[in-house]
Amino acid sequence: MACLRVLYAGRRSKATVWRSRTTKALMGNAMERTTMSDAAFEEINEAKSNMDNIYNQSDPRAYFRELKKLDYAIPDTAKPIFQKLICHLQRRRDDTVHVLDLGCSYGVNAALLKHDLSMNDLYEHWGQRRLTGASTEEVVECDQHFFADRSEPENIEVIGLDQAESAVAFAEEVGLLDEGLVVNLETEPLPEAAREDLALVDLVTSTGCVGYVTEKSFESLLPAVTRDRRPWIANFVLRMFPFDAIEETLSDWDYVTEKLEGQTFVQREFSSAEEQGQIVEQLREKGIDPTREETQGHLLAEFYLSRPMEDAAEPPIGRLFPA
């Protein structure tokens, strides 16, 4: 990306993971406040393949073995969209672009954006034979060299937010995340210590967390990320998940949300015929006609861009991303 200036080599992660100190009582009260979107999301998620047992391990090897089986591709398909937004914002800011990646896991989007990698590169790297019997410490050391030896990171900084503490810690330790924020904003408040860094955010991204997070997470984030700037918010959302409640929350903060019409983005293959059948049925129940790709075996996402009212008119989303 020619419009992104290169930072100096050897840039180190701050290696600071902010953790929420919420009491169990507060978490219990929050869990009792169930909204309609919670119930809808829970029902939809029951049809999806569950990877919770490998999502928060001390390194990404097991997680990436499963993702590869499903040809998980959404970070690749989202990458050019995010790159174009980063380029546009940097032309406006003429400075480092600060990205907040929601549902960051092991820093996958950060790896693709900062080091110009692909999912195939990461599948090959974390699946290489010499790492099969390696300890986590050996994987971390290998990755520190691997990412340091790649092309120098672009002029972006990435804060990652996820409730998976081990995954976030790994991403920080190997230098993919500049900051890590470990919190479940569906049940916990945003830690006060994190607000200062979030005030610098220019772009909020997500490629798969909507459906696990609802408007409650955005309600928690918006006071912090809009304190000094008003970032653009870019969400890839699986087609069976409603986005209207999040859109309404953003509208309360004078954000305008546009969907990139006429385009869909492959997330991954269905894990089974049962998963495919249930999700295709959910689409039809919501009045959404399944596409040929969905009936032939792929989960599809759509792209939503939310911008402050003063930014949304020029340029409109259709001009940013012409078909």
Rounded Cα distance between 263 and 117, Å, is 24
CATH 3.40.50.150, applies to 28-320: yes
Q: Spell out where the chain has E strands.
A: 17-19, 97-102, 156-162, 179-182, 203-206, 232-238, 255-259, 265-269, 298-308
Residue 12 has pLDDT above 60, yes or no: no
Rg (Cα) of the chain, in Å, rounded?
19
pLDDT at residue 187 in the model: 95
The model carries a pTM of 0.86
pLDDT digits (tens, 9 = 90+) for 269-285: 999 999 999 999 999 99
The amino acid occupying position 95 is D
Q: Is the pLDDT of residue 140 over 70?
A: yes
> Residue 284 — φ and ψ, nearest 5°?
-65, -40
The vertex-305 CA angle with 120 and 207, nearest 5°, equals 30
**Residues paired with 203 in a beta bridge:** 99, 232
Residues 62, 127: Cα–Cα separation, whole Å = 9
* pLDDT (0 to 100) of residue 43: 60
Residue 10 in this model has a pLDDT that exceeds 80: no
| Comparison of pLDDT for 311 and 40, the residue scoring more | 311
The per-residue pLDDT for 40 is: 61
Rounded percentage of the chain residues whose pLDDT exceeds 90? 74
**pLDDT classification of 152: cutoffs 50, 70, 90:** low
Q: Is the pLDDT reported for residue 38 higher than 80?
A: no
Distances from the Cα of 1 to the Cα of 72, 96, 156, 273, 286, angstroms: 24, 14, 12, 40, 39
Domain ranges (residues) in the chain: 28-320
Residues 6+ away with beta carbon under 8 Å from 175: 11, 12, 13, 144, 147, 148
Query: pLDDT grade, residue 14 (50/70/90)?
Result: very low
Tell me the average pLDDT across 58-79.
96
Per-residue pLDDT, averaged over 289-309, amounts to: 95
The mean pLDDT of the chain is: 86
